[in-house]
Structure 1
Amino acid sequence: MKHLLLSTVLGTLVATTSLTQQAQAETPADQLIVGFNMNNVLTMDPAAITGSDAVQILNNVYDTIVRLDPDTKKLTPSLAERWEIAPDNRSVTFYLDQDATFASGNPVTAEDVRFSLSRPIELTLAQSTWLVSRGYSPENIGEMFEVVDDKTFRLHLPQPDDPRLIMMVLTINGPGSILDSKLVAEHDDGDNGTAWLTNNSAGSGAFTIGQWRANEFVILNQNAEYWGGAPAMSRVLMRHLPESQTQRLALEQGDLDIGYSLAAADLTALETNEDITVETVPSAGFYYLAVSMEDERFANPKVREALRYLIDYDGINTAIMPYFGVERQRPINSGAFGALPDLEYTLDVDKAKALLAEAGYPDGFDTTIHVISTQEFLDSATAIQGTLAQAGINAEIITGGGGQIYGAMRERNFELLVGRGGGGQLPHPDSNLRALIYNPDNSQEAGLTNYQGWRTSFMDEGLNEMIEAALVEPDAEKQAKLYQDIQEEMEAAVPSIQPFSERVVTAAYQDDVDGIIVDPWVARFEDVVKNR
Structure 2
Amino acid sequence: MKHLLASAALGALVLATPMATTDAWAETPDDQLVIAMTLNNVLTLDPAAITGGETVQILNNVYDALAELNPETKELEPRIAESWEIAEDGMSVTFNLRDDVTFASGNPLTAEDVAWSMKRALELNLASASGFKSRGFESDKADEYFVAQDDHTFVLNLPQQDDPKLLIMTLTQAGAGSILDKELVLENEQDGDMGQAWLTNNSAGSGAYVLTDWRSNEHVILTRNENFWGDAPEMRRVLMRHMPESQSQRLALEQGDIDIGYSLSKPDLTALQDNPDVTVETVPSAGFYYLAVSMKDERFANRKVREALRYLIDYDGINTAIMPFFGVEYKRNINSHAFGVLPQPDYELDVEKAKALLAEAGYPDGFDTTIRVISTQQFLDSATAIQGTLAQAGIDAEIITGDGGQIYGAMRERDFELLVGRGGGGRLPHPDSNLRALAYNPDNSQDAGLTNFQGWRTSFYDEELNTMIENALIEGDTGEQIQMYHDIQRYMDELVMSIQPFSERVVTAAYQDDVDGVIVDVWTSRVEDVVKDR
Interval of TM-score (by shorter of Structure 1 and Structure 2): over 0.9
Q: C-alpha distance in 2, partners of 1:427/1:185?
A: 35
Q: C-alpha distance in 2, partners of 1:116/1:229?
A: 25
The 5 A counterparts of 1:5-44 are 12-13=13-14, 25-44=26-45
CA contact (8 A) 2:287 2:335 kept: yes
Give the counterpart of 1:409 among 408, 411, 418. Answer: 411
Give the counterpart of 2:455 among 444, 453, 456. Answer: 453
Aligned AA (1:438): Y
Matched residue, 2:233: 231
Give CA deviations for 1:451-487 in whole Å, capped at 9, x if unaligned: 0000000001111000000000000111011001100
Query: 3-state SS of the aligned residue for 1:25?
Result: coil
CA contact (8 A) 1:232 1:528 kept: yes
Size of the aligned set, in residue pairs, is: 524
Q: C-alpha distance in 1, partners of 2:314/2:417?
A: 20
> Normalising to structure 1: TM-score of the pair?
0.97
Q: C-alpha distance in 2, partners of 1:61/1:23?
A: 35
Matched residue, 1:269: 271
Q: CA deviation at 1:224?
A: 1.9
5+ residue gaps, structure 2, are 1-8
Q: C-alpha distance in 2, partners of 1:135/1:435?
A: 16
Q: CA deviation at 1:144?
A: 1.1
Matched residue, 1:295: 297
Give the counterpart of 1:251 among 246, 250, 253. Answer: 253
Give the counterpart of 1:350 among 352, 374, 381. Answer: 352
Matched residue, 2:340: 338
Q: CA deviation at 1:260?
A: 1.1
Give CA deviations for 1:136-188 in whole Å, capped at 9, x if unaligned: 11122111111100110000110000000000000000110000000001000
The 5 A counterparts of 1:45-124 are 45-124=46-125
Give the counterpart of 1:439 among 432, 438, 441. Answer: 441
Matched residue, 2:156: 155
Query: 3-state SS of the aligned residue for 1:382?
Result: helix
Q: CA deviation at 1:343?
A: 1.0
Q: C-alpha distance in 1, partners of 2:16/2:308?
A: 61
Q: C-alpha distance in 1, partners of 2:343/2:102?
A: 43
Matched residue, 1:393: 395
Matched residue, 1:310: 312
Query: 3-state SS of the aligned residue for 1:140?
Result: helix
1:95–1:391 CA distance, 2 compared to 1 (3 A):
same
Query: 3-state SS of the aligned residue for 2:139?
Result: coil
Give CA deviations for 1:90-120 in whole Å, capped at 9, x if unaligned: 0000011010111011111111001111112
1:9–1:217 CA distance, 2 compared to 1 (3 A):
farther
Matched residue, 2:168: 167
The 5 A counterparts of 1:206-245 are 206-245=208-247
Q: C-alpha distance in 2, partners of 1:14/1:245?
A: 19
Query: 3-state SS of the aligned residue for 1:148?
Result: strand
Query: 3-state SS of the aligned residue for 1:57?
Result: helix
Give CA deviations for 1:64-96 in whole Å, capped at 9, x if unaligned: 011001011011000101100101110000011
CA contact (8 A) 1:224 1:231 kept: no
Q: C-alpha distance in 2, partners of 1:233/1:450?
A: 40
Q: CA deviation at 1:11?
A: 6.8
Matched residue, 1:4: none
Q: CA deviation at 1:232?
A: 0.5
Aligned AA (1:459): Y
The 5 A counterparts of 1:272-283 are 272-283=274-285
Q: C-alpha distance in 2, partners of 1:10/1:523?
A: 22
Q: C-alpha distance in 1, partners of 2:198/2:460?
A: 45
Q: C-alpha distance in 1, partners of 2:107/2:169?
A: 26
Q: CA deviation at 1:14?
A: 5.3
Aligned AA (2:249): Q
Q: C-alpha distance in 2, partners of 1:22/1:194?
A: 47
Query: 3-state SS of the aligned residue for 2:230?
Result: coil
Query: 3-state SS of the aligned residue for 1:155?
Result: strand
Matched residue, 1:205: 207
Matched residue, 2:6: none
Aligned AA (2:216): A
Q: C-alpha distance in 1, partners of 2:417/2:290?
A: 14
CA contact (8 A) 2:252 2:258 kept: yes
Q: C-alpha distance in 1, partners of 2:506/2:531?
A: 25
1:173–1:524 CA distance, 2 compared to 1 (3 A):
same
Q: C-alpha distance in 1, partners of 2:330/2:505?
A: 9
Q: CA deviation at 1:12?
A: 2.1
Query: 3-state SS of the aligned residue for 2:160?
Result: coil
Give CA deviations for 1:434-455 in whole Å, capped at 9, x if unaligned: 0000001000010000000000
Q: CA deviation at 1:33?
A: 0.3
> Normalising to structure 2: TM-score of the pair?
0.96
5+ residue gaps, structure 1, are 1-7
Aligned AA (2:334): I
CA contact (8 A) 2:440 2:453 kept: yes
Q: CA deviation at 1:345?
A: 1.3
Give CA deviations for 1:224-259 in whole Å, capped at 9, x if unaligned: 221012110010000111111110000000001000
Q: C-alpha distance in 2, partners of 1:378/1:172?
A: 32
CA contact (8 A) 2:25 2:255 kept: no
Query: 3-state SS of the aligned residue for 1:139?
Result: helix
Q: C-alpha distance in 1, partners of 2:357/2:525?
A: 46
Q: C-alpha distance in 2, partners of 1:172/1:204?
A: 15
Aligned AA (1:319): A
Q: C-alpha distance in 1, partners of 2:32/2:24?
A: 13
Give CA deviations for 1:179-235 in whole Å, capped at 9, x if unaligned: 000000100012100000001000000000000111111000111221012110010
The 5 A counterparts of 1:173-184 are 173-184=174-185
Query: 3-state SS of the aligned residue for 2:34?
Result: strand
Query: 3-state SS of the aligned residue for 2:57?
Result: helix
CA contact (8 A) 2:23 2:255 kept: no
Q: C-alpha distance in 2, partners of 1:250/1:344?
A: 43
1:241–1:97 CA distance, 2 compared to 1 (3 A):
same
1:501 matched to 2:514? The reply is no
Give the counterpart of 2:377 among 358, 375, 378. Answer: 375
| Identity percentage of aligned residues | 70
Q: CA deviation at 1:13?
A: 4.6
Q: C-alpha distance in 1, partners of 2:15/2:153?
A: 40
Q: C-alpha distance in 1, partners of 2:528/2:304?
A: 52
Q: CA deviation at 1:22?
A: 11
